[in-house]
Structure 1
Amino acid sequence: MKISVVGTGYVGLVSGVCFSELGNQVICVDKDQRKVDVLNKLQSPIYEPGLTELIEKNYREKRLEFTTDLSYGVKNSDIVIIAVGTPPLPNGEANLLYIEQVATEIATEMNDYKIIMTKSTVPVGTNHRIKEIVSNLTKFPFDVVSVPEFLREGSAVKDTLNPDRIVIGTESEAAMKILTDLHKPLTDNIIVTDIRSAEMIKYASNAFLATKISFINEIANICDKVGADVTKVAEGMGYDKRIGAAFLNAGIGYGGSCFPKDTNALVQIAGNANYDFKLLKSVIEVNQNQRFNIMEKLKASLTTLSGKTVAVWGLAFKPNTDDVRDAPAFEIISELVANGVKVKAFDPIAQENFRTQFNHPDIQWCESPLDAAKDSDAICLLTEWDVFKSINLFEVQNVMANPVLIDGRNVFSKEQISLTKFDYKSIGRPGIKNEKVLVKS
């Protein structure tokens, strides 16, 4: 099939590249000339395992091209995918400015029947708004469909090529058949529904996963107080098929481009329909508060923060991505600096992205985890990168001013910690610590 993808962010770029991998002719369109130039050099503007290799392969095999010319993309495609951003407005609602702009541009460039497929996460009713915009600007036939994405940053290529399900929201039998054929190489688990339900499925899915994260973090906080181990609690819960083990890892809360944005947007969607989504409001509040749990543990170990040096391991909101959008590290480092702490920060991939958004004279940017730990009074581990999981803890403790480790992602086991001198605190595992170590004054 001939496909154009408008927007080369995580969703658009990964979707376009993976559709080309399936044998389709794909044109990826973006108004950012610099980004298109990078892609035409066969480089990826985002860090995503396996993506660069697929870009190079399908570009060389002439199934994939990149351009800023939206007219060219629309006119040479049967399916036009909208994958532009829907950033939050100050009140939490999704900003649909880019969606409406792209719908207008697509309509003015149409030259034949097109399927306009929305993969951007949009509030219920948005696709009907797209249909209205296009109808007013073109004489050519078209169908608007909603096909939400469910990829995870860090495993986006794998998720796209091996999806749990494909959701197709459409009012057109013809469009349904074409899109079913397009997605059949990926999975037989294709759910066809109305457009509004497809739009809601995306928000409901992300809100439910966010709820699981906040729930297990609340359980972890109780475990800290009563002496239980949240990892064992989560394991016991996860074997229940009605619950499942995924998203039951306690830590410092969710971040990234999806969960924070989509949970806030769903609260607004509900509010606009005169419904008070109390549960989801609590999920958001719990997640926000959880980020500062690590600060309380740090203060308990160091007594005072002013004048201390703290290493921060991990700046991305999760491992295997360079995305720092709504990463907990922003608020935690802000709080550290505000308390008079000198921060030594290290992230194996996301460091430059973080630095461009948060550069402060009290932050030292380090070249390795050991470099960050050297002469520090404590380490705060915020992202569970493999480089931290595999580190030699004896080597780390020997270069520190004080062996204090606040593990915000429960990376290290009781066995690993018991052999060290670390004053170790994690999330919901109060039994894993060494109480004999005293911090130097």
Structure 2
Amino acid sequence: MPHPQPSLPAPAHPDVDSMLSRKFGREVANYFSGSPLNRLGFLRSEHSFLSQALNHPTTSFLLCNELQPLVQSKEAKRIQWVKYDDIKDVVGEDPFAKDEETVLKEFDSEKTSAQLVFLGVEENAKGGLEYQGKNLYKGAPFFAVDVTPRGEGKVKDACTALIKKLEEQGMGFGKGRIMELEAGDAAIYAEARQMLDWNARNPFCAQCGQPTLSVNGGFKRACPPQDVATPASGARKPCATRKGVSNLSFPRTDPTVIMAIVNHAGTHLLLGRSKRFPPAWYSTLAGFAEPAESIEEAVRREVYEEAGVLVGRVVIHSTQPWPYPANLMIGAIGQSVPDGEKIDLGNDPELEDARWCPFDEVREALKIGVSGLGDPAPPEYKGGLRLPPETAIANQLMTSVVNGFVGVEAKM
């Protein structure tokens, strides 16, 4: 049976009347967006805040094993949050007890600890932390912890023991791509997964190759000037990242364009399929934006490379965070030029097929032919076109186009 699809996050301030909403319609919020947390990024450098947040009774921790979240059941509809007492042995002593400058000076590359990331606070929670900075900040804190057993020693043993304990209590970690979580949980998991993955991928400095240290609540990695594990003075070899204000590495996000392309007459939608898709399953075209390229240019280039179609006007529709591993899907709607609508798959053999689908066919498929990539077709499906689920931005783009985003003015 197909997995039941979770609801999408609500757009920001949907009930507030505004000039932009009247002109362009309500904002579209895609799956993995709409986090209920205020990230308070400006407090990540304040260790007094992070330390209080770590030890507060309302604090919740999201555990990930091999980047898969701890969930309440096999259906993976809700995250299973844990408390600080559950992860004390994994995290060790309070990593925020000392300020960042001291932590850098006392860096020891031979000491390991589970990766910890501050995700933000839920401001509406009762009894949450109250922290007086330049303003008074309130909320229940949330952290992510990587409990993947790695290497050797106490941390690995603690992670292994914790996972065993959780499994004995009937909990487990999600499998595959997690697309069944409720909207708020999905957005929190997306942040956690991307940040834990980035930290795991960057244990060494890209400039000098020496071990780096996670700082700023898990959102930066620094190349410390010295290492307690180094013989003699502990000083490390010079590194360019320690000059000026560049003593850090920030997490990356890769912009990716995904586009619903309408023919010049405004009657058909360009869809494609790769060899890995199940039979009759099509989607919108997509690809990575390249350096020194605008989003509009990336849309035109990708459509030409993959399908040979020439695109004219391009507008941005909505965006979707995609933590597999670190993409921002930038959804666009474009329209082909009259003499550039012939499909040609000979430029880049990425697609197995591409075709112009009538709007009516797409509308029908959106009603009865929607399913996840690895799921069977829904019971009401009797054949014909199959499309991605509502949790995919491709679905939102197609829905917008065939339900009126493109009107009669497109035919002018």
| TM bracket, shorter-chain basis | under 0.3
The structure carrying a bigger helix percent of its residues is 1
Greater relative CO, 1 or 2 (CA 8 Å, sep 6+): 2
Q: TM-score, normalised by structure 2?
A: 0.26
The structure carrying a bigger strand percent of its residues is 2
Q: TM-score, normalised by structure 1?
A: 0.24
